[in-house]
């Protein structure tokens, strides 16, 4: 059963009330004001009582007139469910999932300034193209010490992070090779814009010791800048076509900042990597709750690979792909790793991943235009073709390499820690460079504030599926 048909059925059932009510006493509830909390919460209850993965453990709802976010929370199976969420604006939710957000265009991790210190600084991990941050000259590795004139501490940095969605100032330091230290760059102003981020951040080919290595940095799984576009997937196809034409024999996929996204894009990327797969081979299997599995279309659901002429799995030495990870690698990234494992050796370099083997479907209220909320409940659990789904605590790296232990070098630089570690494993030769080791405590990241972080999004949204 192809996944697109499944979600066509989802839309029909939700929109036209074909589901059997879970509570016959509520078949004819009293009418409520469409603009009221009651209307939002009744819709939320209807959705959750049909699709929520942990249906048997769903919570007892609070008063129907309650704040919608509180009402939704009352239904969740905490702490098992770490990921279901409600959003005040469905359109903003979808924009965030496809990489369209109001922002200044830079991401960073936060560290204690010293062991035991309450002072915090932010280190920029990457800057987005055509953004206010790139135009201001910010680069990876710059260190931010204050936002809007307030120095960051363990106690206030979360509040300060909430200010970067509006016009703000930062005080920062940049590294100078000579004299080999961080230099005060002063203060700059940044004004967020509606930014469309392309997840295909960088691709390169390196020839080192007669080994030809293809390298891709991919920041989130999205088919295109909107849900009816396949631009990003097609761009990835072109990258792999070039890799194949150039005859690479090793592949490194960098997912260290990839917190998830759409299943369809994970399938697309996997179909470019796994050796000789076609649309007859199973990438993943999807399980639903006991209520949905009464229906034939929600039983034994499988998602197949795609047949891709750009596939280069058969030319990779040792039938191996390298995946670079961090503590912010999650969801669709983990689905990719798990789905590839039955077909090839997936060598992980980096840090323990988040651990999320469950997926969501975005829902909006098609019947009530006054209800702007969007729901993103956990609806599915995924496994690979061998029925393996045991990564709820994350994938342990084969080789540990932690960004916090070194000063950040530019992404794509062969001396950058994670890329260097993969190249050393490929060539069997250690780098001749000398790198200062750091001991820093990671306390947070802007990536964790992204709507797409920790998301495994099934693909019900493209309107063409439902006509």
What pLDDT sits at residue 14? Answer: 54
Helix pair angle (37-51, 3-16), 10° resolution: 140
Residue 373: inside a domain, yes or no? Answer: no
Q: Are residues 283 and 229 in the same domain?
A: yes
Residue 74: inside a domain, yes or no? Answer: yes
Residue 444: inside a domain, yes or no? Answer: no
Give CA–CA dist 239/214, Å, rounded: 9
Residue 302: inside a domain, yes or no? Answer: yes
Residue 67: inside a domain, yes or no? Answer: yes
Give CA–CA dist 316/338, Å, rounded: 18
Q: Are residues 130 and 142 in the same domain?
A: yes
Q: Are residues 48 and 155 in the same domain?
A: no
CATH number assigned to the domain comprising residue 288 = 3.90.226.10
What pLDDT sits at residue 462? Answer: 36
In the numeric block, the tokens 């651990």 are attached to: 355
92 Cβ contact partners less than 8 Å away, ≥ 6 residues apart: 374, 451
Q: Are residues 109 and 92 in the same domain?
A: no
Q: Are residues 65 and 210 in the same domain?
A: no
Q: Are residues 89 and 123 in the same domain?
A: no
Residue 451: inside a domain, yes or no? Answer: no
Which domain range does residue 26 map to?
3-97
Burial class, 148, CB count within 10 angstroms (exposed 0-12 / middle 13-18 / buried 19+)? middle
- Whether residue 26 contacts residue 43, with contact meaning beta carbons closer than 8 Å, is answered with no
CATH number assigned to the domain comprising residue 128 = 2.30.42.10
Q: Rounding to the nearest 10 degrees, give the CA dihedral for residues 273, 277, 280, 282.
A: -50
Alpha helix positions (H), 142-256 = 157-161, 231-246
Q: Are residues 329 and 220 in the same domain?
A: yes
Give CA–CA dist 255/260, Å, rounded: 9
Give CA–CA dist 261/359, Å, rounded: 10
Q: Among residues 39, 69, 97, which one ends one of the domains?
A: 97
Q: Are residues 45 and 126 in the same domain?
A: no
Give CA–CA dist 357/394, Å, rounded: 9
Q: Are residues 332 and 415 in the same domain?
A: yes
What pLDDT sits at residue 89? Answer: 96
Q: Are residues 129 and 26 in the same domain?
A: no
What pLDDT sits at residue 26? Answer: 56
Residue 449: inside a domain, yes or no? Answer: no
What pLDDT sits at residue 432? Answer: 84
Q: Which of 348, 369, 383, 358 is nearest to 457 (CA)?
A: 358
Residue 464: inside a domain, yes or no? Answer: no
Number of domains, the chain: 3
| CA triple 424-426-429, angle to 5 deg | 40
Give CA–CA dist 138/187, Å, rounded: 12
pLDDT per residue as tens digits for the range 79-129: 999 999 999 999 999 999 999 999 999 999 999 999 999 999 999 999 999
* Low-confidence residues in the chain, pLDDT < 70: 1-27, 459-467
- Whether residue 333 contacts residue 354, with contact meaning beta carbons closer than 8 Å, is answered with no
- Whether residue 316 contacts residue 250, with contact meaning beta carbons closer than 8 Å, is answered with yes
Q: Are residues 233 and 244 in the same domain?
A: yes
108 Cβ contact partners less than 8 Å away, ≥ 6 residues apart: 122, 123, 124, 125, 144, 445, 446
Global pTM exceeds 0.75: yes
Phi and psi for 53 in degrees, rounded to 5? -60, -40
Q: Are residues 66 and 109 in the same domain?
A: no
């Amino acid at each position: 059963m192809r996944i697109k048909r499944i979600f066509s059925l989802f839309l029909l059932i939700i929109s036209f009330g074909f589901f059997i009510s879970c509570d016959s006493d509520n078949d004819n509830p009293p009418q409520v004001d469409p603009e009221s909390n009651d209307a939002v919460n009744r819709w939320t209850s209807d959705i959750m009582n049909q699709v929520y993965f942990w249906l048997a453990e769903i919570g007892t709802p609070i008063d129907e007139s309650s704040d919608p976010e509180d009402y939704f929370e009352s239904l969740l199976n905490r702490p098992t469910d770490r990921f279901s969420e409600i959003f005040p604006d469905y359109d903003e939710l979808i924009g965030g999932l496809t990489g369209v957000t109001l922002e200044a265009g830079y991401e960073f991790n936060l560290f204690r300034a010293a062991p035991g210190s309450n002072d915090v600084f932010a280190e920029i991990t990457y800057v987005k193209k055509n953004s206010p941050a790139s135009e201001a000259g910010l680069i990876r590795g710059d260190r931010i010490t204050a936002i809007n004139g307030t120095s960051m501490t363990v106690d206030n940095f979360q509040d300060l992070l909430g200010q970067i969605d509006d016009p703000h100032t930062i005080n920062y330091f940049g590294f100078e090779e000579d004299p080999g230290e961080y230099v005060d760059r002063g203060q700059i102003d940044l004004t967020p814009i509606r930014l469309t981020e392309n997840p295909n951040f960088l691709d390169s080919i390196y020839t080192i010791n007669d080994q030809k290595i293809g390298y891709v940095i991919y920041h989130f799984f999205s088919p295109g800048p909107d849900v009816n576009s396949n631009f990003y997937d097609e761009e990835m196809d072109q990258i792999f076509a070039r890799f194949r034409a150039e005859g690479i024999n090793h592949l490194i996929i960098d997912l260290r900042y990839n917190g998830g996204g759409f299943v369809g894009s994970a399938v697309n990327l996997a179909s470019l990597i796994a050796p000789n797969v076609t649309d007859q081979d199973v990438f993943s299997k999807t399980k639903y709750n006991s209520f949905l599995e009464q229906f034939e279309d929600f039983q034994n659901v499988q998602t197949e690979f795609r047949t891709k002429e750009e596939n280069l799995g058969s030319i990779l030495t040792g039938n191996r792909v390298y995946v670079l990870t961090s503590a912010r690698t999650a969801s669709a990234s983990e689905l990719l790793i798990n789905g590839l494992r039955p077909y090839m050796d997936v060598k992980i370099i980096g840090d323990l991943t988040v651990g999320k083997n469950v997926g969501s479907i975005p829902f909006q209220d098609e019947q009530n235009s006054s209800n702007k909320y969007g729901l993103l409940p956990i609806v599915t659990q995924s496994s690979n073709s061998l029925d393996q789904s045991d990564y709820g605590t994350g994938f342990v790296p084969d080789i540990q390499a932690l960004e916090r232990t070194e000063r950040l070098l530019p992404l794509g630089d062969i001396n950058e820690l994670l890329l260097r570690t993969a190249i050393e494993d490929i060539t069997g030769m250690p780098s001749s460079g000398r790198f200062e080791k750091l001991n820093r405590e990671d306390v947070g990241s802007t990536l964790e504030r992204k709507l797409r972080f920790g998301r495994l999004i099934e693909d019900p949204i493209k309107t063409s599926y439902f006509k």
